[in-house]
Structure 1
Amino acid sequence: MVAIGYGLASAKWFTDKSGQIIARIVTQVALPMYMVNTITHDFTKGELIRLLPEIKFPIVSMLVLFAISVGFARALGIRKNRRGLFQSMFFNSNTVFVGLPINMALFGVKSLPYVLVYYMVNTTFFWTLGTYLIQRDGEGAWKFDIRATLSKVFSPPLLGFILGIIFVWTDVKLPTFVVSDLQYIGNLTVPLSMFFIGIAVQRAGLRNMEFNKYSLGILFGRFILAPIVMFFLLWKADVPHLMKQVFILQSAMPVMTNAPVVASLYGADADYAAIMVTESTILSLVVVPILMTLINN
């Protein structure tokens, strides 16, 4: 599906705005409906109650990675106007456009709650600590806007997840025609996400890839340190094996697609962020099969 998206973008089937439109359809329409339908159809109160305490694993993992990123940025001599962006990309991962379809393709619908737990933590960290670090790189003074931050954290996918939990908790049964609509539209999530990845890679261009201390540090953090940290956190934990697999994969996803947008908004190095999104997304197509082989053995 990624290859089809790449091929159609190369054939000019998609305009410059197509990727943005697909991203909005996925995040604001298809994915929230997918959340509601899947949570209400496949999960019980007991399963959801057992899931919530496991939020501690991605929280601790990201805090550890953030601490490591501070040392890495100094050791590599990352210049000050890139340091916050470097740290943000080091510990945040793309849990929706790459993480969700990959986990759904590999593990099926049973992986969704674990994907969403990691997504909740990841998006909260990005729009608070991650955004602060990026904004600190920019030209202006840092300001914390609680309303804007909450609107980013409580995004449509997370609200869909919360709504699904409310329906399960209150034993609400949705009408058949509503369930059908949720299912049909929600099923657009995975293929459109895969198309989006292909379009993004084609638009960025493989020629823009460059490997230096700025990029290699991020790639090392995303694809090697992040899964290692998560592995050791989960190693002796008494949790389902599927959760371990999903959390390790989610931790090793590429750089957040929002990083260049936020960097541009605050006058940070948006080009650097865009290159890292491209490089990490392309390399994830190689890293994920290797990681899957390792965690299945």
Structure 2
Amino acid sequence: MALLTVFNEISILFLLILAGFIARKMNLLGDEINKGISVLVLQFTLPALIIKSMQFSFTREVMLGSIHMILVSIIVHGLAIAIAIITPRILKVEGDRKRIFQFTLVFSNVGYMGYPVLDAIYGEIGVFYGALFNIPFNFLLWTVGVIIMTQGRSGVTEAKFNYKRLAFNPGIISVFIGFSLFLFSIELPYVIFRTLDLLGNTTTPLSMLVIGAMLAEISLREIFIEEKLLSISIIRLAVIPLVTFALLKFFGASGLLIGIPVVISGMPAAANTAVFATMFDVEPHLASKAVFNTTLLSMISIPLLTMLL
């Protein structure tokens, strides 16, 4: 049943991408609309998703486990960053292609695919700890993610992102709000929660529509012959989760503390790869290829990974 659920969730993402593909072919989604949707997702619907996802009951019994999960998340993301720094040097990739590949390796599809998979394997407790694991992800997305996309690109940093206002961007603010509500067990009124829920739930379809629209401008043959993309996909889907498993085993982790990090680190490239690439004008088509390719291959890798666990 768990494997069927995993397959179904991945299939849904592909159908959403297909919808965006068709919409672009029908001239319903153009470049300007795509860019507008990308900004809308990053600055509006994604923050709503973050705050809503942190609406869990807090008890003393889970305090220690919560701290451990956040620490493990920092270690795992640190590992992914180290691999992302080393890999382009080994593959001899430079420029904007290097930035896309690094972003692909650091950021996995936690929010859009991670939660459903964790729910299928571990139930509600898996989703709970998955949300905690996702806290460093959101900080890194708006710091390391922006640095990857902008570093060394003339004029991009000033035009697209103001580092002095980093702490006040929607992503970081939503993490603080969501975690504060979680920490003090503050339950949002139904009207507010439902509003955030509806807004947050648009994040996945909007992101997939953008990816599909971008893919409509690319020959599908190019996706599978893209130089070194297959190597990056294998590292994203197999090498990183297996190294994560070995590392956590070495430190004595077990149960959810090893299962959740391994599952999440084995997710395909985050849809934000294409969203950020569009926002910062860094090879958006290559970013879409990376999301599409890793998501396609994950239909094989994720079921195998869940069987291993």
TM-score normalised by length of structure 1:
0.76
Aligned to 1:90: 105
What letter is aligned with 1:270? P
Q: CA RMSD in A?
A: 3.7
> C-alpha offsets along residues 204-225 of structure 1, whole Å, 9 cap, x if unaligned?
3581523444312321221112
What letter matches 1:27 in structure 2? L
Among 120, 129, 150, the residue aligned to 2:135: 120
Q: How far 1:155 moved relative to its partner?
A: 4.8
| Alpha carbons of structure 1 residues 181 and 71: separation in structure 2 relative to 1, 3 Å | closer
SS of the counterpart of 1:154? Answer: helix
Q: Helix, strand or coil for the counterpart of 1:222?
A: helix
1:134-213 mapped onto 2 (5 Å cutoff): 134-140=149-155, 145-156=163-174, 159-167=177-185, 174=187, 178-179=189-190, 182=193, 186=197, 195=205, 199=209, 202-203=212-213, 204-205=215-216, 207=220, 209-213=223-227
* Aligned-pair CA distance for 1:258: 2.4
Q: Within 1, Cα distance between the matches of 2:184 and 2:65?
A: 16
Q: 1:103 — aligned with what?
A: 118
Report the CA distance shift for 1:114/1:69 in structure 2 as closer, same or farther (over 3 A). same
1:282 alignment partner, one of 276, 296, 303: 296
Tell me by how many angstroms 1:236 deviates: 4.6
In 1, Cα distance between equivalents of 2:280 and 2:45: 26
Matched AA of 2:301: V
Q: Which amino acid aligns with 1:225?
A: V
Measured after TM superposition, the shift of residue 180 of structure 1 is 8.2
Q: Distance in 1 between matches of 2:211 and 2:274?
A: 14
Number of matched residues?
283
Query: What is the CA distance between 1:276 and its match in structure 2?
Result: 1.1
From 53, 65, 77, the equivalent of 1:50 is 65
Separation in 2 of the partners of 1:251 and 1:269? Answer: 24
TM-score between both structures, scaled by the size of structure 2: 0.73
Kindly indicate whether the alpha-carbon contact (under 8 Å) linking 1:200 and 1:278 is maintained by their aligned counterparts in 2: no
Is residue 271 of structure 1 aligned with residue 271 of structure 2?
Answer: no
Q: Is the 8 A contact 1:128 1:149 kept in 2?
A: no
The yes-or-no answer on 1:33 pairing with 2:48 is: no
Q: Is the 8 A contact 2:47 2:200 kept in 1?
A: no
How far the C-alpha of 1:149 sits from its partner, in A, is 5.0
How far, CA to CA, are the matches of 1:56 and 1:159 in structure 2? 20
CA displacement, residues 164-200 of structure 1 (integer Å, 9 cap, x when unaligned): 2222xxxx5x59xx3587479748967x666557645
Is residue 60 of structure 1 aligned with residue 69 of structure 2?
A: no
User: Is the Cα contact below 8 Å between 1:34 and 1:183 reproduced in 2?
Assistant: no
5+ long unaligned stretches in structure 1: none
Report deviation, 1:47: 0.4
